[in-house]
Amino acid sequence: MDRQGTTTAPRHIKVAIMDESELVVHGIRAMFEPHSAVVSVVPYRTTGPAPLCDLTLYEPSAHRRTTSAPQRFPTRMVAFGWDCTPEAVSTEMSRGAAGFVSKWLPTRRLIWNLLQIADGRVVVDAWSGKGEPAKPTAAEKWPLTHRETEVLSMIASGLANREIAEQTNLSINSVKSYIRGAYAKIEVTSRSQAVLWAIQHGLLMSGDPVMSVPRAAAQPARV
């Protein structure tokens, strides 16, 4: 309900599946069918015009020869693959994907991730369905403090500065200070570069649950 006590309809997104077999498309459509109030699969042929949808899912292995993520304006392109290694994830994010979601994900978690990406968040959920991922080796000296690591991990999960402040009980200025300090230490200058660094260094590992982000802040705040 909204503040006036009236019931509001849930957000509904339309998802296209790019360059997949009919079997895969029908399988995903069947997975989404019980959740048709919030998500649906729209018909899509790559030989035709771009579909009217919110997101387009593509298999990274089918587009590795290109230097950027497939473009189907105005939809957001989301990598949707079996290969969930940090290298695969960082490659797709650096090519301009709006997010990376694993084909191993259970239905509800996949849908939740897609809703977040449609709302403008950067989401990486590279769960492989297996056990605990390998941890970074202790031989490598970690450049960040505990608090800087925590804040950077939240950035990689798609949280805006104000949301980080709320979860850590820090002031917004303190959050910005930690972000600036972290950026200087890891030698990045933008939020997208910070997300890539976090992925490559295990701050958003395969198997980590995606953090629950309120929809109110659709665009991450800049430092």
For the record, the structure tokens of 82 come out as 């079996």
User: What gap in Å lies between CA 33 and CA 43, rounded to an integer?
Assistant: 15
The sign of the torsion formed by the CA atoms of 176, 179, 183, 184 equals: positive
Give a yes or no: residue 8 inside a domain: no
Q: Which residue has the higher pLDDT, 12 or 72?
A: 12
CATH number at residue 191: 1.10.10.10
Give a yes or no: residue 5 inside a domain: no
Position 15 scores a pLDDT of: 93
For the record, the structure tokens of 81 come out as 């693959």
Would the pLDDT of 19 be above 60? yes
Would the pLDDT of 141 be above 80? no
Residue 137 binned pLDDT confidence (cut-offs 50, 70, 90)? very low
Give a yes or no: residue 221 inside a domain: no
* Distant-in-sequence, close-in-space partners of 179: CB < 8 Å, separation ≥ 6: 151, 152, 155, 161, 194, 223
User: What gap in Å lies between CA 130 and CA 87, rounded to an integer?
Assistant: 17
Q: What is the pTM of this model?
A: 0.59
44, 84: one domain = yes
17, 120: one domain = yes
User: What gap in Å lies between CA 206 and CA 81, rounded to an integer?
Assistant: 13
User: What gap in Å lies between CA 56 and CA 50, rounded to an integer?
Assistant: 10
Domain count, the chain: 2
Give a yes or no: residue 7 inside a domain: no
176, 95: one domain = no
CATH number at residue 119: 3.40.50.2300
Q: What are 28-80's pLDDT values in tens digits?
A: 999 999 888 889 998 776 666 667 889 999 988 876 555 555 565 567 889 99
CB 41 within 8 A of CB 18: no
Q: Which residue has the higher pLDDT, 178 or 90?
A: 178
Q: Which residue has the higher pLDDT, 66 or 26?
A: 26
120, 163: one domain = no
Give a yes or no: residue 140 inside a domain: no
Domain extent, residue 181, equals 146-200
The length of the chain, given as a count of residues: 223
154, 112: one domain = no
CB 121 within 8 A of CB 213: yes
69, 155: one domain = no
Give a yes or no: residue 119 inside a domain: yes
Q: What are 170-179's pLDDT values in tens digits?
A: 999 999 999 9
